[in-house]
Amino acid sequence: MAYLDDSVEQMIHQNGELQEILLASHRRMQVNRAFLAFPGAQVQSQLLHGTRVRFTEKGHVLVNPRTKETDHPHIWAVGDLVNHSQQVSIAMGDGAQAAIWIHKRLKEMN
């Protein structure tokens, strides 16, 4: 297995199955799977600006790691807003974890 730091120009598939990748260096690679990184993603946290929510220097929202609640009561943040891992499975886990604490908070309010 090789690691290549090159831009993908084209992904060639047949019936939706990856067959080949054409790189910016004009190298063609026969493949049936690939791990690709997509640079340039930006945190979309503008909605929280102007609140008491704290941010990292890169714009990610700081949360309680256990509850996912921010410094502002009743505002939770998960997924790429928090750790910028850009992984659906992590965002789903964060969301499930936050949901438990949101539920607890709602029960406390009754």
- Verify that 50 and 102 share a domain, yes or no: yes
Domain coverage including residue 10: 1-37
- What are the CA-CA distances from residue 83 to residues 16, 38, 93 (Å)? 31, 16, 12
Tell me, yes or no, whether 68 and 27 share the same domain: no
Spacing of C-alpha 25 from chain mean position: 28
Burial of 107 (0-12, 13-18, 19+ CB in 10 A): exposed
Same-domain pairing of 98 and 50: yes
Widest distance between CA atoms in the chain? 64
The single residue listed with the structure tokens 């080949």 is: 20
Q: H/E element holding 17? A: strand 17-23
11 phi and psi angles, rounded to 5 deg: -110, 120
> How many domains, in total, are found in the chain?
2
Which is more confidently placed, 3 or 63? 63
Question: Residue 76: what pLDDT?
Answer: 96
Which pLDDT score, from 0 to 100, does residue 94 have? Answer: 94
Whether residues 55 and 13 share a domain: the answer is no
State the pTM of this model. Answer: 0.65
Q: Are residues 53 and 95 in the same domain?
A: yes
Same domain, 103 and 76: yes
Assign 1 a pLDDT band (cuts: 50, 70, 90): low
Strand duo 8-14 + 28-30: pairing: unpaired
Residues 53 and 92 grouped into a single domain: yes
Average pLDDT score over the chain:
89
pLDDT, tens only, 38-91: 777 788 888 998 898 999 998 899 999 999 999 999 999 999 899 877 788 999
